[in-house]
Structure 1
Amino acid sequence: MPPHQEATVKSSVVPFDPVALPIPLRRLGHRDALERWRAADRSAHAPHIVAVPGDDGEDWAAAALVTARPHTAYLKIVDAVGDVPAAVDAVVSYARHRGLAQVKWEGWTASAEMAAAVGFAPLRAPLAQAQDAGGPGSGYVRWLCDGAVTEPPYYGQTTHFTCGAVTALVAQAHAGALPWESLDRPAELTLWRDATNFPACEPVGLGVAVRRAWPSSPVAIFLDVKRPVLLDHYPESEQEWRAVLQRMSRTDAGRVGVPIDSGLLPMTAIRSAIGRREHVLLLVSLAGMQGFDVPHWVLCHGAVPGAVVIEDPWANASAGDTWVDAHLLPVPDASLDAMSMISPDRFRGAVVIGCPERRDTSSSEPADE
């Protein structure tokens, strides 16, 4: 079946104001959808309405609410109402005009058949999420650029502090080193317990824990400062013992054979690693995408022209952000470069996991009896 080609649809784009819905939108009805649009404060994600005018030039034939995390390369359709195919085609045309890599569609009202008819593929449902994550039970994606990106499982961290462990588990599941059905809360907490600097996972401790958990997977740590990190917000008495643990992690890295590169890992190296089918666990600040400067681990696993595709194990439900946003998320290279320079003294931390080594048993001989 050939891919769907959106029709040329005349449309307009207007900001979404939940307090003052446009009269043509109210005339379309769909009260349940409109209530959902207004249920969260979406203002941080630039909510807009893409509207398709009716034949009379006054009413609308269709409308879609679109949002997106700042500094990313996608649009998300929360819902489309009225003539849904026309609304979706208008959003896709709008995204193409902006040079974006992708359009996603939350499955509140869209069925798989409806999504497929307008060129969208289903996203795999999350394996787990935090209790307060919210979000639809299904979602869909349409890529607008060249380049194939294989879909890893989506696993939402179930605590506020296990992002590092989750990104490592998802990376290994995507690489085939871990069965998808093994991604569960005990696995999440077990790996976090081995990697944590209480409660965060700093790069060296995380890299060592990954190596211990999967001895056949090559691991390299990149950290361009030699002092302990992620401690500045603690009182001095709380920093001291965590710093001791980080120094112990460096000793452990030498013991288990995990190299620590003290140079700055450039974006070109991240793209090269992805091209070799390696996975990059990257420490970023959420200031750009979510508005607060909190260190957070994401998984870099794919690349398209102009953007790196990440998995973010956390979504900000209060802003209308869901797993559909966080899964297969394209981030422009320049944006990812900026958000991975961690304050206050701008360091970059990453863990690169290579393809699992496979033993060659073809020439082995049976043991003498």
Structure 2
Amino acid sequence: MTSQQKTPVNPLVVPFEAGSSPTPLRRLGHPEVLERWHAVDRTAHAPRIVAVPGEDGEDWTAAALVTARPHTAYLKIVDAIGDIPAAVAAVVAHARGRELAQVKWEGWTAGPEDAAAAGFAALSPPLARPEDVAGPAAGYVRWLHDSTVTEPPYYGQTTHFTCGAVTALVAQAHAGVLSWEEFDRRAELTLWRDATNFPACEPVGLGVAVRRAWPSSPVEVHLDVDRPVLLDHLSQSEQEWRAHLQRMSRTDAGRIGVPIAPHRLSTAAIRSAVGRREHVLLLVSLAGMQGFDVPHWVLCHGVVPGAVVVDDPWANAATGDTWVDAHLLPVADRSLDTMSVVSGFSGAVTIGRPQRSGAPSSRPADE
């Protein structure tokens, strides 16, 4: 039996402490890898070392640094050193023990052949990402269940405010309505310009902009309050004209046939929508995953046991978060339900499969 086929017995899992490395880890060498591990403060993503003890019980034969966004259902290998197949097998065993959905592996030092031998598939590289955000050129994923999740393109928003437009574009590229070649910064800013409430995209304006851009795609907005939203941080004078724009968006929605469901879209309903091959643009708070309560759009496009798979167009480089974390990201059902309450309300936009001209809608009633 080769080393990559072995299932480690009792892998050792210890906290990773910034600024120091355990002696057995230093003995494995690779100082350039350890330097990368300590280059950012990974504390917010619960960094751990998963090690394979040697026969003497003191030294390690292999080790991997693993992290993950809080309230998610995956582990990410930043790097593995020593007996790499054994280290990766230890991480997979650890993830299975925690009943997680997925293990990812950043491609800083991992190559496609090593990843494939360990059961990982290559992720498609990003179509775009901000120039000032570091990240590996490659990434890999291994699902720990039998479900199939098709991969959308990954596109990192190039501004702080275009997350809504990017999630809509990713949804349409995943559905085959938009070619990957057409998905660029011009498309990002063009859709944002039509959807923005300056600078944020609120649910109704985003739904209207999506329907205008793709008239054959059924669109429905879910918003459980009948008032302007995403304005509380602004002064009264700044709120007033943005509120007027939101009322205009509601008028536009009625004119072009975008229904506004006055209730929250539950996680069960998101699962049902994805099962119908629809895409859900979901407004979430980043408090759970990133530690600050900022509204943010993500795309829900897949489901696995116990989790909804999302694509997040933003990664927090300051914590070691990269596009590998944000892409094909499984979020536990209960956590997603909590994240979807933003400043006391919930908002989402569902995009259905394109319809032929004159074809009746087959959308069932919402759950």
User: TM-score normalised to the size of structure 2?
Assistant: 0.95
- Counterparts of 1:141 and 1:76, CA distance in 2: 9
Q: Show CA shifts across 1:93-138 (max 9, x none).
A: 0000000000000000000000000100000000000122211000
Partner of 2:248 in structure 1? 248
CA shift for structure 1 position 146: 2.5
| Count of residue correspondences | 356
3-state DSSP class of the match of 2:77? strand
CA distance in 2, matches of 1:113, 1:10: 27
Structure 2 distance, partners of 1:81, 1:360, is: 59
d(CA) in 1 for partners of 2:246 and 2:137? 40
Equivalent position SS for 1:315: coil
Q: Does 1:273 align with 2:273?
A: yes
Q: For residue 349 of structure 2, what is the aligned residue in structure 1? A: 351
User: CA contact under 8 A between 1:9 and 1:86: conserved in structure 2?
Assistant: no
Which whole-Å deviations, capped at 9, do the CAs of 1:293-347 have from their partners, x for residues lacking one?
000000000000000000000000010000000000000010000001012xx21
CA distance in 1, matches of 2:40, 2:9: 29
Does the CA contact (< 8 Å) of 1:6 and 1:118 recur in 2? no
How far apart in 1 are the matches of 2:356 and 2:256?
19
Shift of 1:9: 3.6
Structure 1 stretch 53-62 or stretch 96-105: which is displaced more?
53-62
Could you give the per-residue CA deviations for residues 157-209 of structure 1, whole angstroms, max 9, x where no partner exists?
A: 00000000000000000001000111100000000000000000000000000
1:59 aligns with 2:59: yes
Distance 2:26 2:39 in 1: 16
Counterparts of 1:27 and 1:358 in 2: how far apart (Å)?
64
Q: CA deviation at 1:360?
A: 8.8
- Determine the C-alpha separation between the residues in 2 that align with 1:169 and 1:264: 23
> 1:358 offset after TM fit, Å?
3.0
| Pairwise CA distance, 1:272 | 0.4
Instruction: Report the Cα distance in structure 2 between the residues aligned to 1:19 and 1:334, rounded to whole angstroms.
Output: 35
Aligned to 2:96: 96
Structure 1 residue 264 displacement after superposition: 1.8
**Contact 2:8 2:86 survives alignment (8 Å):** no
Q: What residue in structure 2 maps to residue 149 of structure 1?
A: 149
Partners of 2:341 and 2:197 lie apart in 1 by 20
Q: Secondary structure at the match of 2:62?
A: strand
Pair 1:216 & 2:212 matched? no
Alignment pair present for 1:76 and 2:76: yes
Which amino acid counterpart does residue 318 of structure 1 have in structure 2? A
TM superposition shift of 1:214: 0.1
Deviation at 1:29, TM superposition (A): 0.6
| Pairwise CA distance, 1:7 | 2.0
Measure the CA separation in 2 of the matches of 1:251 and 1:36.
52
Secondary structure in structure 1 of the residue aligned to 2:215: coil
Give unmatched runs, 5+ long, in structure 2: 360-367
Distance 2:268 2:234 in 1: 34
* Residue 21 of structure 1: how far off its partner (Å): 0.8
Find the counterpart in structure 2 of residue 338 from structure 1.
Answer: 338
Matches within 5 A, 1:132-281: 132-281=132-281
Shift, 1:54, TM fit? 1.2
**CA deviation vs aligned residue, 1:14-55 (integer Å, no higher than 9, x gap):** 000122210000111101100000001100000000011112
For the 8 Å contact 2:298–2:310, the answer to whether it is kept is yes
**Alignment RMSD (CA, Å):** 1.2
Matched residues in 1 for 2:314 and 2:20: separation? 31
Matched to 1:358, the amino acid is: R
Query: Which amino acid is the alignment partner of residue 352 of structure 2?
Result: G
Deviation (angstroms), 1:67: 0.1
The one-letter code of the counterpart of 1:34 is L
Whether the aligned pair in 1 keeps the contact of 2:279 and 2:299 (CA below 8 Å) is yes
Could you tell me how far apart the structure 2 residues matched to 1:219 and 1:112 are?
39
Aligned partner of residue 81 in structure 1, secondary structure: strand
Q: Shift of residue 210 of structure 1?
A: 0.1
Q: What residue identity is the alignment partner of 1:292?
A: F
Alignment-mate amino acid for residue 92 of structure 2: V
Partner of 1:367: none
SS at match of 1:192: helix
Helix, strand or coil for the counterpart of 1:338?
Answer: helix
**Amino acid paired to 2:286:** L
What CA distance in whole angstroms lies between the structure 1 residues aligned with 2:133 and 2:273?
31
Provide the rounded CA distance (Å) in 2 between the counterparts of 1:271 and 1:97: 25
Contact 2:216 2:357 in 1 (8 A): no
Alignment-derived partner of residue 364 in structure 1: none
